[in-house]
Amino acid sequence: MRNCREITELVSKGLDTPLGIGERLSIKLHVMMCSRCRNFLSQTQFIRKAARQYADQMFDSVKKSD
């Protein structure tokens, strides 16, 4: 069984590259039982969304000033 540190490493990796079936399954099983890792999973997805929106805002602010 993977511990929380290992699960979050996988979750993070999964945001940057496709994971194998086994890896995805162990995340799924782990977050069913672990609310902290479940929070980590959704919060890292949120951070990705926020980061892209932040970049878009930077980009837009320049276009407008053109």
Partner 1 sequence: MLLKSAADRTPTLNEAVLAEQRPVLFRYALIKLRNAEWADDAVQETLLAAWQSATAFQGKAGLRTWLIGILKHKIADHWRRMEREVVTDVLDMGEIDMLENEDDDFFLGNGHWNGGPNTWQDPEAALKQQEFWAIYETCQNNLPAKMAQVFMLRELVGLEAEEVCRETGISDANYWVTMHRARLRLRECLEIRWFNSSQFNKESHHA
Q: What are phi and psi of 62, to 5 degrees?
A: -80, -45
> At residue 27, what is the residue type?
I
Q: What is the DSSP letter of 18?
A: P
In angstroms, the first-to-last Cα distance of the chain is 55
CB of 9 to partner 1, least distance (A): 5
Decide: is 61 part of the binding site for partner 1 (CB under 8 A): yes
Q: What is the closest distance, in whole angstroms, from the C-beta atom of residue 28 to partner 1 in the complex? A: 17
Site membership for partner 1, residue 36 (CB under 8 A): yes
- Counting Cα atoms < 13 Å in the Cβ hemisphere of 9 gives 5
Give me the residues that bind partner 1 (CB under 8 A), please. Answer: 3-6, 8-9, 12-13, 15-17, 35-37, 39-40, 43-44, 46-55, 57-59, 61-62, 65-66
